Amino acid sequence: MMIRSKLKLLTAGAVFVVVLTAIVTWLEHLTIQKQNHREDAVEQLQTEAVNLNIITIDLLHDAQIRIQSKQWLIIYNNLGKKITDSPLHEQTTYPILKKQHQKIGQRFNTYIQAHENCQQKKVTKKSAVYTTNSCHELQRRLGNQIRLAQQDLLVEIHKIHQRLGAQSRRQDFIGGMLLLALPLLMLIFIAVLVLPVTRSLNTGLTRLLKASERFSRGDFGYRLDVDGHDEMAILATTYNTMAQRREEAEKLLRKTEKNLSHSQKMDAIGQLTGGIAHDFNNLLCIIQGNLELLERQTAGDDKAHKRIENIQNSTQRAADLTSQLLGFSRRQAEHVTVTNINQIIQEMENLISRSVTPQVEVQLHFAENLWLTAIDTGDFQDTLINLVLNARDAMSGRGQLTLETQNCYLDAAYCSLNPGANPGEYVQLAVSDNGEGMSGERQNRIFEPFFTTKAQGKGTGLGLAMVFGFIKRCKGHIKVYSEPNIGTTFRIYLPKAEAENLPDKQTKIQTGKLPRGIETLLAVDDEADLLELAKESLQEQGYRVITATNGNQALEKLTEEPSIKLLFSDIVMPGGINGYELAEQATRQYPELKVLLTSGYTEKSVAHNGQARFNANLLSKPYSQAELIQQVRALLDEPV
């Protein structure tokens, strides 16, 4: 860099310019002052002698200037060798170059001195023998000396360059050898140390890879052999743990899916049967109601009464079937009571004994201090009978039937394995037989409505479906354990009753003479026949009955007839206003109005906030006219 700031190049002549420009371009240390004409260059030399740094001898000769600066460099222009790659910038670090520079400067000044001597001699003419030729010869010799020094300088530069190049090549060679040696060392290292490890690792990795492939294909049962305590063993152990967990999760998932599928299937069947049963219930209500009217109208006609009684019996059986269907579909309104099932079972002991053959031994094991449970006792009785009959049929009339109750707690672990169960305290009833048992496939379908393995005409296929519906309705749980030729156990879990869940009031249906009244009632139902039947039944008891077929119409009637004391309405009705909404609006407008709702099921009509209170007075379809009349009277007699 120092050179760059001090050296200045003055050039003249195209060839020289090209050569030096190449040098300078490479060096990037010099600045060029180019003069295309020799005369201009000479003039600049004479005026800027101090700045002279690089110049041709001929130019110096023409300018007749001594070299004043110590920092200079002369490059001869007729050198045939390439010098552009000479490391001139290194000159200060090489004494030989400095020495050569000094020689050149020395010889040049000698040359200038001789030139001046000749010029002086010519002027003074002191020596006639010292001819112009002698001057020219001397100058020629001295010029050649300068050229020799210049070329020696260039050779030294080349030598230095060569040395640097050799060093560079040596470094390159060493670097190359290192580069060559490094992979070789790596190969040796790999061969000696890594390969055995790699081979071992490879084997392990291959096994792990194969296991992973099987894993990716869904084969979670494959396990790796764990040998030793190295990284591969840790990997294998980790893989095995992962595969085991995945396998367990997969089993659980499949089971959940299976249960979910079963649940969805049961739900779909429930909705289907529930819908059919609801409509069928309405028809049965019409039939039953008309039969009751016909029975009164045909009083004294025994023959007609006999026929009417047959029809009523058949209708009742039909109503029982729809009741079972509704019970399965969970759409039947409940009559929940808090009870001790030990007591119910004890009350049913005779019935149970008569339900099975004498060859079936019935054993009852009751837990002491059994918790209470909030259930529909009628449904529970039906459930128990259904389970007993199912056991009887499984034992082919001979065996042992065991009923056992106990308190139990279903924990989360059990519930995780048994979707549909919720953790908590339960009252358990186990009904066991040592009958033929069931296969797994059969177990999966036993709760489906109309699924039966019994001979045609011996079973409806609704018994266990009704059990299933009861359990779900009371938020319980049922579990079946069965082994072919060993026996079957049904365990039903009924939630322990909480104090706040206890009903405040139980409707007691009065039997005997039907109560009468004179109040004005509003009956609402979209089913015209059913509406008419209710109207007739109530009118027969002295009531004034106004009817409406939808909610809006009912509200209008309420406005028109302020004397209406009780609203009897179906819950599910078309027209945008269901029974709950109607009751809410009506009681808001007429707070003293009594409300009795009726429905075949309650799920479709969601009781919003505050509407659930109307469920306290709910008449489930199909209802008897006596039930209707008694319920109406009881409500009207209640204080406001």
Interface with another protein (CB under 8 A): 78-81, 96, 99-100, 103, 106-107, 110, 114, 117, 121, 127, 129-130, 134, 137-138, 140-142, 144-145, 147-152, 154-156, 158-159, 161-163
Residue 403: beta bridge partners?
364, 431
CA–CA dist 598, 333 (Å, integer): 9
We find the least distance from the C-beta atom of residue 21 to another protein, in angstroms, to be: 20
We find the least distance from the C-beta atom of residue 43 to another protein, in angstroms, to be: 28
- Nearer residue to another protein within complex by CB, 51 or 106: 106
Instruction: Show Cβ contacts of residue 181 under 8 Å, excluding neighbours closer than 6 positions.
Output: none
Peptide bond between residue 622 and the one before it cis (omega within 30 degrees of 0): yes
- Nearer residue to another protein within complex by CB, 150 or 324: 150
- Nearer residue to another protein within complex by CB, 126 or 303: 126
- Nearer residue to another protein within complex by CB, 108 or 493: 108
Grouping H, G, I as helix, E, B as strand and the rest as coil, residue 70 is coil
Burial class for 406, CB neighbours closer than 10 Å (0-12, 13-18, 19+)? middle
We find the least distance from the C-beta atom of residue 114 to another protein, in angstroms, to be: 6
- Nearer residue to another protein within complex by CB, 150 or 549: 150
- Nearer residue to another protein within complex by CB, 99 or 223: 99
We find the least distance from the C-beta atom of residue 109 to another protein, in angstroms, to be: 8
- Nearer residue to another protein within complex by CB, 57 or 326: 57
We find the least distance from the C-beta atom of residue 52 to another protein, in angstroms, to be: 19
How far is C-alpha 298 from the chain's CA centre? 70
Residue found by looking up tokens 């041709």 in the block: 56
Alpha helices in 507-576 (DSSP H): 528-540, 551-560
We find the least distance from the C-beta atom of residue 133 to another protein, in angstroms, to be: 10
We find the least distance from the C-beta atom of residue 81 to another protein, in angstroms, to be: 5
Tokens standing for residue 59: 């130019």
DSSP labels for 85-145? T--GGGGGG-HHHHHHHHHHHHHHHHHHHHHHHHHHHHHH---SSS-HHHHHHHHHHHHHH
We find the least distance from the C-beta atom of residue 167 to another protein, in angstroms, to be: 12
Backbone angles phi, psi at 552, to 5 degrees: -65, -40
DSSP labels for 249-309? HHHHHHHHHHHHHHHHHHHHHHHHHHHHHHHHHHHHHHHHHHHHHHHHHTTT-HHHHHHHH
Written as one letter, the residue type at 12 is A
CA–CA dist 528, 163 (Å, integer): 120
We find the least distance from the C-beta atom of residue 12 to another protein, in angstroms, to be: 20
- Nearer residue to another protein within complex by CB, 81 or 613: 81
- Nearer residue to another protein within complex by CB, 121 or 265: 121
